[in-house]
Structure 1
């Protein structure tokens, strides 16, 4: 592993002490997520104001240590000879220095870094397996108390380029919501590296200071002090900025004036129960500002005890987490939806299957799993460009969604492949009528933004679920895909755009394990052939 001593480092941030104030809240998952979102926001601002690669990487590491709970951030590249080349680092870099000195005792070719590099997948809290080679890694980490790590691949020009490695002292430091934020940060960095040009370093440093100043303002919490009877004695300036109420106004109205029709009554009951008990509360609720606007408030209530053990006062600490909450909702949406068409992606399809399949099994209903591929789509991409192809996919996605019934579902797996879940049809004739409607809708001409008119056709493979079938959804999808393959292979001779399969179980025989009984039939029920 090599490190370049000439690489410029950003100056030690004067705001580091600000983030140290958040140390006491790191056990709180909302605080941890908020810090990672602040890190994401800071990286976004840096990318908006620089085009220099080394400044971005140094800032990425520095901001990771300053804004988030990690203790060491490291960007490295694995060279062809399996050596590690450091591009940027920040935090407890003494671990990396020891890594250099004892490199021969640390088998990088068997560690989590090379695994993430080879498989190009993010790894979190990757455990070291048993064995003498693993003991070298554990022995080297032990003095630095680094117990968790995250390894995220960075791409440039759609090729593996580097790894972002984060270390934390908590054993389970990267929950799922924080993983989504980190993956979105790496995705932004990868996209930015594709077309950057150099700009002045002085501008980066100036914008960096402005960003940290804005982060300081957003990190200030509103504070309320009440007596044991919950009469308000004090509010700070951050509370007034957050809610719009002065001390005199909120003392007259009471804190319940921050609540409204959309405030969850169960959360209010939980707060009352906590105050009637030990007095501690930590949670999130929807509050209303003075102008009527809503905001998500992360509220911590801490009791102050007298010497005799009685509660004399309460301190309420409020933090506006509206942006964090909306960002989390957006991340969850992006994780389950196709960005181009807005349809569900593979993850959303599996979530829908987890609901649909048990319902069909419980009510002995009907279900058709349909795999769709667009014919003549590739020539549109080749002739008119990818923007035209994306437009065609969006149009087809809307047409499929509008043609299906509310009980049906459509998802895009990628490229020009779609999956339909059609349930509740009473006969094959009902299913055939819906398939004809789909064909008529898809076959309508598509007008490109350039004024050209194009069109696509469908090929579809259908696998019908049978109540006697005990396999899983992956099996149904695989047989629908095989039917799709035959439909495309017979495109010139076929009389319709689909091939239909009905799958049933039969006792396993020698050589036939995992081979379900497959019957190909027409939708009208005639001309059945057993395979």
Structure 2
């Protein structure tokens, strides 16, 4: 049994404040000790009943009610000791409130040693949930033991009444009287009414507490949603908006009133992928779940990438009652990923495709050319007079020249053609779909004229570069790989650079019959590039 020995008595402070709220001032109700008149005793218990009712009208706090219950029992009736306790699962007794001569409770645990706990009156009432009056023990050793325990305190009768809360046994109201028959029949009826009334009040307070907790939870949830970094939208089953949080308004620029009037489709625009919108509609018409990204528009017209998660809320019947949409602005993440993908496939200096992008382009171009029996020229380009510019004006000037040449090459080509920079001053062209060799020559001349234009450096100097090019035509019945064709073009480029003082045009054509069915080895290709670089440095 546990008692809160450090708690102040109910008469000190707590009860006097309650009693003052009942309009009784500072005085406590008086009672006659051990009235012999049965009618007077009943009046006292009826006054006890009334006072308990007044307390319940002025408080909804459990501990105040229990302390008041014990204090009123002692002050209004002949009861010497009032006690509210609970039987714990380990058969110990926990004190919830007490009043009167509590010395007996302090010694109760020690004095009842040796007595079977499950046969005592408190445990019997707890198990059977039936009130017990005046006969705490049956005849025999237990009755004798109880008399010995209570003799120092002159306790001759007791009343034990069960109290319920939330439709479950919750506590026991235990009253002790010094009279042998302290609880006559009419007083028992009053006490049972008091216990029943207290139980009903506790039942009501449980409901009030639940509603209060629910309101607090709703308030907490609303506060959490408003403070959430992600945008939150709540719609009904027909997708009508009923709630948006502050993050949604900051993210989109729309208030609840505005977006409710326009609808969520107002966030979509010309660049929103219609396939994603179809996926959302299909998800909402099916299981209701969606998780993906789409391009949305803010109120000011700016776009942002939205990671959208839609979660259905189900009724007990299994029907969907609401949808919760959680959206997060992932524009920075999306742009960073796009930038990484761009840099992986593009030359940082010129913005042209790099070697990886050329490989991807070839994987698309060659099957198309083979399928339609179209023409294709693979061209390797190297810049003449580039190294002297780099040495004389510095690397920044050399980088500027490469950027200008890259732009001119891209502008001189048709939309069906492709240009990539492999590194240094080396470029590769894929010229596709020319009708004859004369048409290809016109394209090559156009490229030469564009690149040979003067280049103005930031320092004010004017420089110029020339082209050397090797061209390999893609044969319709060719069964080799692209790397071999690229090495053929590289071999033709070597010839063009080696003969640039005597050549009549800046490019050389690789003739497939010169090297029938023989692929140039990787080593010889590297040697060819080395020799070409030496030739460039010498002139």
Normalising by structure 2, we get a TM-score of: 0.51
Q: Could you say which residue in structure 1 is the equivalent of 2:251?
A: 242
> How far did 1:379 drift?
0.9
* Candidates 275, 300, 307, aligned match of 1:291: 300
Task: Report SS of the residue matched to 1:273.
Answer: helix
Q: Could you say which residue in structure 1 is the equivalent of 2:421?
A: 412
Task: Report SS of the residue matched to 1:292.
Answer: coil
Q: How has the CA–CA distance of structure 1 residues 221 and 368 changed in structure 2, closer, same or farther, with 3 Å as cutoff?
A: same
In structure 2, stretches of 5+ residues that fail to align are: 1-225, 522-539
Q: Could you say which residue in structure 2 is the equivalent of 1:463?
A: 472
1:317 has 2:321 as partner? no
Contact 2:227–2:247 under 8 Å retained in 1: no
Residues 352-396 of structure 1: per-residue CA shift (max 9 Å, x gap)? 222222222122222111111111111111111011111111221
Q: How has the CA–CA distance of structure 1 residues 263 and 514 changed in structure 2, closer, same or farther, with 3 Å as cutoff?
A: closer
Q: CA RMSD in A?
A: 2.7
Counterpart Cα distance in 1 of 2:499 and 2:514: 27
1:450 has 2:450 as partner? no
Structure having the higher Rg: 2
* Candidates 435, 449, 457, aligned match of 2:444: 435
Residues 255-310 of structure 1: per-residue CA shift (max 9 Å, x gap)? 33333444333333322221222111112223232333332221111112233323
* Candidates 268, 276, 290, aligned match of 1:259: 268
1:482 has 2:491 as partner? yes
Contact 1:466–1:502 under 8 Å retained in 2: no
Contact 1:465–1:502 under 8 Å retained in 2: no
Counterpart Cα distance in 2 of 1:502 and 1:262: 48
Residues 394-438 of structure 1: per-residue CA shift (max 9 Å, x gap)? 221122222222222211111000111112223323222332332
Q: Could you say which residue in structure 2 is the equivalent of 1:393?
A: 402
Q: Could you say which residue in structure 1 is the equivalent of 2:371?
A: 362
- 1:38-57 to structure 2, matched below 5 A, reads none
Counterpart Cα distance in 2 of 1:413 and 1:513: 21
**Larger relative contact order, structure 1 or 2 (CA cutoff 8 Å, min sep 6):** 1
> How far did 1:500 drift?
1.1
> How far did 1:504 drift?
6.4
Residues 132-159 of structure 1: per-residue CA shift (max 9 Å, x gap)? xxxxxxxxxxxxxxxxxxxxxxxxxxxx
Q: Could you say which residue in structure 2 is the equivalent of 1:403?
A: 412
Contact 1:466–1:504 under 8 Å retained in 2: no
Q: How has the CA–CA distance of structure 1 residues 272 and 452 changed in structure 2, closer, same or farther, with 3 Å as cutoff?
A: closer
Counterpart Cα distance in 2 of 1:377 and 1:507: 34
Residues 90-148 of structure 1: per-residue CA shift (max 9 Å, x gap)? xxxxxxxxxxxxxxxxxxxxxxxxxxxxxxxxxxxxxxxxxxxxxxxxxxxxxxxxxxx
Q: Could you say which residue in structure 2 is the equivalent of 1:231?
A: 240
In structure 1, stretches of 5+ residues that fail to align are: 1-216, 516-531
Which contiguous aligned blocks of 4+ residues in structure 1 show a shift greater than 4 angstroms?
504-508, 512-515
Residues 166-193 of structure 1: per-residue CA shift (max 9 Å, x gap)? xxxxxxxxxxxxxxxxxxxxxxxxxxxx
Moved more, 432-441 or 359-368: 432-441
* Candidates 511, 515, 518, aligned match of 1:502: 511
Counterpart Cα distance in 1 of 2:265 and 2:443: 54
Counterpart Cα distance in 2 of 1:452 and 1:253: 59
Task: Report SS of the residue matched to 2:511.
Answer: strand
Contact 2:484–2:519 under 8 Å retained in 1: no
Task: Report SS of the residue matched to 1:407.
Answer: coil
Counterpart Cα distance in 1 of 2:270 and 2:467: 49
Q: Could you say which residue in structure 2 is the equivalent of 1:301?
A: 310
- 1:78-117 to structure 2, matched below 5 A, reads none
Q: Could you say which residue in structure 2 is the equivalent of 1:376?
A: 385
* Candidates 337, 341, 345, aligned match of 1:328: 337
Moved more, 441-450 or 276-285: 441-450
* Candidates 343, 347, 357, aligned match of 2:352: 343
Q: Could you say which residue in structure 2 is the equivalent of 1:12?
A: none
> How far did 1:471 drift?
0.8
Task: Report SS of the residue matched to 2:361.
Answer: helix
Query: Greater share of helix residues, 1 or 2?
Result: 2
Counterpart Cα distance in 1 of 2:386 and 2:516: 42
Moved more, 393-402 or 256-265: 256-265
Q: How has the CA–CA distance of structure 1 residues 455 and 218 changed in structure 2, closer, same or farther, with 3 Å as cutoff?
A: farther
Contact 1:469–1:504 under 8 Å retained in 2: no
Q: How has the CA–CA distance of structure 1 residues 504 and 336 changed in structure 2, closer, same or farther, with 3 Å as cutoff?
A: farther
1:352 has 2:361 as partner? yes
Task: Report SS of the residue matched to 1:285.
Answer: strand
Task: Report SS of the residue matched to 1:374.
Answer: strand
> How far did 1:488 drift?
1.9
Counterpart Cα distance in 1 of 2:444 and 2:258: 64
Counterpart Cα distance in 1 of 2:299 and 2:474: 56
Residues 416-466 of structure 1: per-residue CA shift (max 9 Å, x gap)? 001111122233232223323322332232222222222222211111111
